[in-house]
């Protein structure tokens, strides 16, 4: 039987608290996205497109970053296009590939969501640091 590092009761408690904190943040994020008329996955896709380096915001990139199959990412992007949140533009280097760009409406929604998410992460930082310190100790 393989030897495992000793996990203490305090480690289990810290891990459980960490998972709970992640779930709380996820619930916060889902709620804020809904307030903006977005699903959590749509919010994540907009964030991925906005954060992509120039020329890299493709359906393949969205699929990779959201851990989706390409056809699922295509459906997600189709819905975002229908909502006037994303535009497909031909790639200058590969005519078979479309690059994705956010519309002004998407930028407005994402700006609002990102500001509230930054505030929440700042609020959670001390508690997360404490949990990480417990796991290190």
Which one is predicted more confidently, 97 or 107? 107
- pLDDT value at position 2? 56
Per-domain residue ranges of the chain: 9-136
Q: pTM of the predicted model, to two decimals?
A: 0.88
Question: How does 124-136 read in b/e, with b if 16+ C-beta sit within 10 Å?
Answer: beeeeeebeeeee
37 phi-psi bin (left φ>0, alpha ψ -120 to 50, beta other): left
Q: For 56-78, what is each residue's pLDDT tens digit?
A: 999 999 999 999 999 999 999 99
> Which tokens belong to 72?
């699922």
- CB burial readout 3-33, b (16+ within 10 A) else e: eeeeeeeeeeebeebbeeeeeebeebbeebb
The predicted model gives 76-87 an average pLDDT of 98
Q: Which class in CATH covers the domain with range 9-136?
A: mainly alpha
């Amino acid at each position: 039987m393989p030897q495992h590092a000793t996990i203490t009761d305090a480690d289990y408690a810290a891990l459980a608290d960490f998972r709970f904190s992640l779930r709380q943040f996820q619930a916060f994020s889902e709620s804020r996205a809904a307030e903006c008329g977005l699903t959590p996955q749509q919010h994540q896709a907009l964030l991925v497109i906005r954060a992509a380096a120039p020329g890299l915001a493709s359906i393949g990139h969205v699929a990779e970053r959201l851990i989706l199959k390409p056809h699922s990412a295509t459906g997600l992007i189709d819905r975002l296009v229908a909502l006037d949140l994303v535009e497909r533009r031909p790639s200058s280097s590969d005519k078979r590939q479309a690059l994705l760009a956010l519309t002004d409406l998407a930028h407005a929604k994402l700006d609002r969501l990102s500001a509230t998410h930054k505030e929440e992460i700042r609020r959670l930082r001390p508690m997360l640091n404490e949990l990480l310190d417990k796991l290190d100790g």
